[in-house]
Amino acid sequence: MKAWIIVLLLLILTWPVGAEVLDTPQENNTTSVPEAVADYQLSVAAAIELGLQNNLDVVLARYRVDEAQADLDRQRIVGDDEAITAAEEHLAETLENLEQTKDDLATQIENSYYDILTAQGRLAELEQNYADSESSYRMDQARYQAGMISQLSLERSANALLNTELNVARQQDNVATSFYRFQDLLGIPLQKTVVLTDTIDLTYQAVSISFEEAMQKALLYADTIVRAQEGRADAAEAVRLADNSYTPRAALEKALLDQQRAEVNYEKATNRVFFEIRTAYLRVTQLEASLELLRRELDYAERNLLVVQAQHADGVVSDTALLNAERAVESAEGELSDALWDHVRARRDLQIAIGQPSLQWGD
């Protein structure tokens, strides 16, 4: 067992972390791509602008608008009033679909950008863990050779190093996958390299507004509400224009029905946003309560480890007890780190639901 561990650790310590063994297009891990040689250096705004130009769904939506416009032009040449009206309605639908597609894409791009930054942040943490584990293993090697620790302790240190190396490799794969998805959204080749120039402020910030305040903001800014309000305004204007002695009665009745439909759509939009805000708000507040508990658990685990280390030095407890105490600290640190990332994402989800998705981007 000892010989197997030593051979395996030599392989780990001489093999680069996350080294590739398969040929792939080109891993787009920005931790290894200098800005000077990257094909794209993108802020959030630049990424959205690029995506709105090149995204394949947007391109197809533009084609449909062009087709609808061409059909309308043909119908105007023919001069069939009913066909012209139908073509105009179809063009309006395709234009609305294009705008909706672009709105959805902008949110998807910003979310994808954020996901990459999150994945890179986790990768940085794991790489630091690997460096710490490597240093710890080398120290344990020296201590073992000096007869200060048992073979079991050395094996435990070797296993910890193996585990952190695998975690780094998995997260590197996650970062690369996030970039591929991001580039697919932008409509750029997957073989290109991308560097993200914005960063996220990861400072813990508790929610400073009440649910009622969040809902009031959503009624002003949420895309669903804004579109429903525009529909109400358009319907009211159509009724105003049709309410005269020169417009056929049927046109006015249709405009009135459209206005009633717009009012119903606004009420539905308000209810939908209410549940979105409620879900997002409760998620944030629940995570804040969990963070406090996780901080206490980490503090207890760290104090318990100090006690167990002292007892282990005096020969009172076994290597297994020390290992369990160390693992408890590692587990508590990991859970707290994950919860902090989740809280940042939950805050962002709330901001998106409100209709103000941009975080404080900067250095």
**Structural domain span for residue 175:** 30-198
Q: Residue 277 in contact with residue 350, Cβ under 8 Å?
A: yes
Is residue 42 situated within a structural domain? yes
Q: How many domains does the chain have?
A: 1
pLDDT in tens, 294-310: 999 999 999 999 999 99
Per-residue pLDDT at 104: 87
Q: What is the mean pLDDT of residues 24-28?
A: 44
Per-chain mean pLDDT for the chain:
83
Give 103-130 pLDDT, tens digit per residue.
889 888 988 998 898 888 889 888 988 9
pLDDT of residue 287: 92
Do residues 94 and 61 touch, judged by C-beta distance below 8 A? yes
- Give me the residue label for tokens 């952190």: 164
Is 54 among the domain residues?
yes
Proportion of the chain above pLDDT 90, given as a percent: 42
DSSP 200: B
Q: What is the mean pLDDT of residues 96-107?
A: 88
Q: What band does 358 get if pLDDT is binned at 50, 70 and 90?
A: low
Mean pLDDT confidence for 80-95: 90
Assigned domain for 210 exists: no
Residue pair 117/344 in contact by the 8 Å Cβ criterion: no
Per-residue pLDDT band at 8 (split at 50, 70, 90): very low
Whether the CA torsion 65, 66, 68, 69 is positive or negative: it is positive
- Assess if residue 154 is contained within a domain: yes
**DSSP letter assigned to residue 361:** B
Q: Is residue 4 part of a domain?
A: no
C-alpha 258/C-alpha 268 separation (Å) is 15
* The two three-digit tokens of residue 211, written as one number: 């649910």
pLDDT given for residue 36 in this prediction:
57
CA dist list (Å): 327 to 137, 163, 322: 15, 12, 9
In 3-state terms, what secondary structure has residue 83? helix
CA angle (275 as vertex; 272, 276 as ends), nearest 5: 85
Overall average pLDDT of the 324-336 stretch:
86
CB 294 within 8 A of CB 336: yes
In the chain, the amino acid numbered 363 is D
- Per-residue pLDDT band at 146 (split at 50, 70, 90): confident
Tokens in use for 72? 């309308």
Gap between the Cα atoms of 162 and 156, Å rounded: 10
Q: Specify if 45 maps to a domain.
A: yes
pLDDT value at residue 237:
92
- In CATH, what number is assigned to the domain containing residue 186? 1.20.1600.10
- Say which residue, 284 or 156, is predicted with more confidence: 284
Helices (H), the chain: 2-14, 44-54, 56-78, 81-145, 151-186, 211-221, 223-242, 249-313, 319-354
Residue 15 lies in a domain: no
> For the segment 27-74, what is each residue's pLDDT rounded down to a tens digit?
444 445 555 567 999 998 899 999 999 999 999 999 999 999 999 999
Element (H, E) at 195: strand 194-196
The residue among 301, 289, 282 whose CA lies nearest residue 346 is: 282
pLDDT of residue 46: 93
Quick check: 363 pLDDT over 60?
A: no
> Which 8-state DSSP code applies to residue 317?
S
